[in-house]
Structure 1
Amino acid sequence: MKTIEFTYHLKDIEATAASVLEHLVSKTILFNGSMGAGKTTFINALLNAMQSDDTATSPTFSIVNEYNIPNDKVYHFDFYRIESIDEAYNFGIEDYLNNNHWLFMEWPERIEDLIPENHQAITITDLEDNKRSLKLTINTKHLTKNTAMKL
């Protein structure tokens, strides 16, 4: 495991998202943080860094939102309202997990047994004065030798 830490002011979120994007080696990203920490806000900044014209909104009630980026898609999940793995199966989670698109997952602990092994995790902590701490955790055991050497 490797962890990269960022501290940023909300006015600098776009630059931070661009920096984080450079370190992503998996298309499955877990977003951790308390309610209101800024997970969806950071996902929106990531979408901008990925050159999307879409705006991220919280998929709390729809469970998943789809965004377009050049030559790909991002599926943004919010599992906060999921109470069992069966609910995830009922909306077709396997179809999402078995595609080659980006998966951004908020509240991933609700479907922990289904999360692909080669994921990365972003943990956002709300500091005071519009500042955030972000920890990007990279599971290095699933990296190719070339990708691992870049880190």
Structure 2
Amino acid sequence: MITKEYTYRLDTIETVAKRLLQSFNSKVILFNGEMGAGKTTLIKSLLKVMGSDDAVTSPTFSIVNEYSTYKGIVYHFDFYRIEDEEEAHNFGVEDYFESNNLLFIEWSERVASLLPKDVCIVDISINSPKERTLKLTINTHNLTENTHAIS
């Protein structure tokens, strides 16, 4: 595993988003952090850097939102409101995991046993009201000579 750490403020979040996109080596990205840590805000910046003009909102009630980017479709999940893994299974989450699309997932611990093995993990910690620390964990077993960053 490789871990990278970034401290950022809201006015530098796009710089961090660009660095993250260059580092991702999986199509499934898990975003962890307490309520209000800025998971959706970071995802919004990632999508903006990827050229999406879509209005990015938290999929808390819809469970999944779909966005168009220059890299294709990105699915953004928020599993905060699901009752159990069976609910995610019933709406076909495995089909999304098997797709070639990029998946951004919030509250992934609620579907832990359904997740694929190859994921990148973004942990966000609150330092102050305007500053966050982000830790990116990359699974090195995904790395090969032919692995290219998602940018």
Structure 1 vs Structure 2: percent identity of aligned residues? Answer: 55
Relative to the length of structure 2, the TM-score reads 0.93
Query: Which residue is 2:14 aligned to?
Result: 14
| Conserved 8 A contact 1:47-1:55 | no
Partner of 2:43: 43
The one-character-per-residue Cα deviations of 1:76-106 (angstroms, maximum 9, x if unpaired) are: 0000011211100111112111110010000
Which has the higher mean CA deviation after the structures are superposed, 49-58 or 23-32? Answer: 49-58
Instruction: Give, in whole Å, the separation in 2 of the partners of 1:71 and 1:131.
Output: 29
TM-score, length of structure 1 as denominator length: 0.93
**Structure 2: gaps spanning 5 or more residues:** none
Q: Map 1:1-150 onto structure 2 (within 5 A).
A: 1-147=1-147
Q: Give the Cα separation in 2 of the matches to 1:43 and 1:55.
A: 12
Offset from partner CA, 1:107-135 (integer Å, 9 cap, x none): 00000011111110001111114011000
Is the contact between residue 25 and residue 142 of structure 2 (CA under 8 Å) also seen in structure 1?
no
| Greater Cα offset, 39-48 or 121-130 | 121-130
Instruction: Rate the CA distance shift 1:108–1:141 in 2: closer, same or farther, 3 A.
Output: same
Alignment RMSD (CA, Å) = 1.3
- Structure 2 residue matching 1:30: 3-state secondary structure: strand
